[in-house]
Amino acid sequence: MTARDGIRIGTRGSLLARTQTGWVADQLRALGHAVTLETIHTSGDERADVAVPRIGADGVFVRELEAALLAGRIDAAVHSLKDLPTAETDGLALACVPRRALPFDVLVSSRHARLASLPPGAVVGTASVRRGLQVRALRGDVDVRPVRGNVDTRLRRLDAGEYDGLVLAGAGLQRLGLEDRITEVLEPDAFWPAVAQGALVVQTRMEDASTRAALAPLDDAATHAAVRAERSFLASLAGGCLAPIGAWARHDAAGALVLGGCVLEDQPVTVRRITASATAGPGEDPEALGRAVAALLKEMGADRMLAAARLGGGGHPA
């Protein structure tokens, strides 16, 4: 980056991605930095009619952005942190994590106020195995069907009557100014969000100290600690962003970091769900908390459950 060029930020092409990246750009401009945006199309976006596991494993929404960073085509990339694999790419750094938006999943329905009020046989759309299993765990009598596409596309299909309800990330609706479409917020312990859901991350080259310094004021320490714990938890379970794993970390009234996690298993008749939580002790780092909660779930059989999930295939976390 040079003073003449300003900061070049890469973004996916969807409205939500451009909105998120635009927010980061506005914050940087308010701090006096020149910013330009470059749209980069990812394999996950270009094959919106194909289930994500058939495109590839983790990272289908970030690989092209990372390649552009490493090539020097852009100076920073804005991602939804839940899309970023826990194994960090050599040469790249997670420069900042801004304050988190709503971390939970939500129900959107034109006719029904709550998941519990959907009639038997109602069609619920989601592209996420984690969400679909949790819907089935709560309402085994509804019909969970896949739905892909950006938020606007999914809402149009709902409004056209293809679905009785959708389960989406609340943060995406918030950022698009569509909070009024939210029917019900689905929270733990009944419904666990994806790891790092609701959080953005701005990625840079490790060597690019000037861009990292420019981004430093946008970092939210509480959010950054929470998602570090969640990502450590996910990595300790050897789960990718496609695995049926949920987690949520937050600070309690005393300021201690608390992490809860969930692993799901699709069984022939029902859905098995195990949960565990722990609180960081004095001086404990977020990664240690993540490992501790993962260890509790492993004692309950998480490894076997996740092995079965990998054999059965996965779905998209969004």
- The model's pLDDT over 11-65, given as tens digits with 9 standing for 90+, comes to 999 999 999 999 999 999 999 999 999 999 876 554 444 444 443 455 667 999 9
Residue 158 confidence (pLDDT) above 60: yes
Residue 164 confidence (pLDDT) above 50: yes
Question: For 130-140, what is the mean pLDDT?
Answer: 96
**What pLDDT was estimated at residue 48?**
46
**What pLDDT was estimated at residue 75?**
98
The answer to whether 291 and 259 have CB atoms below 8 angstroms apart is no
Domain 230-312 part of CATH 3.30.160.40: yes
All CATH 3.40.190.10 domain ranges in the chain, comma separated = 7-98+199-219, 105-186
Token digits for 187?
A: 């929270």
Q: Could you tell me where the DSSP H helices lie in the chain? A: 15-30, 43-46, 52-55, 63-70, 129-138, 151-159, 170-175, 209-215, 221-236, 286-299, 302-312
**What pLDDT was estimated at residue 47?**
45
Mean pLDDT score of the chain, rounded to an integer?
Answer: 90
- What positions carry a catalytic annotation? 83
Strand partners, 39: 11
All CATH 3.30.160.40 domain ranges in the chain, comma separated = 230-312
| Range scoring the smallest mean pLDDT among 23-27, 112-116, 281-285 | 281-285
**What pLDDT was estimated at residue 194?**
96
What CATH number does domain 7-98+199-219 carry, 3.40.190.10, 3.40.50.720, 3.40.50.150, 3.30.70.260? 3.40.190.10
Distance CA 63, CA 43 (A): 8
Question: For 129-149, what is the mean pLDDT?
Answer: 94
Question: For 135-159, what is the mean pLDDT?
Answer: 94
The CATH number given to 105-186 is: 3.40.190.10
Question: For 265-287, what is the mean pLDDT?
Answer: 91
Token digits for 95?
A: 């420069």
Burial of 24 (0-12, 13-18, 19+ CB in 10 A): buried
**What pLDDT was estimated at residue 314?**
47
Percent residues over pLDDT 90 in the chain: 81
- Round the CA-based radius of gyration of the chain to a whole number and report it: 19
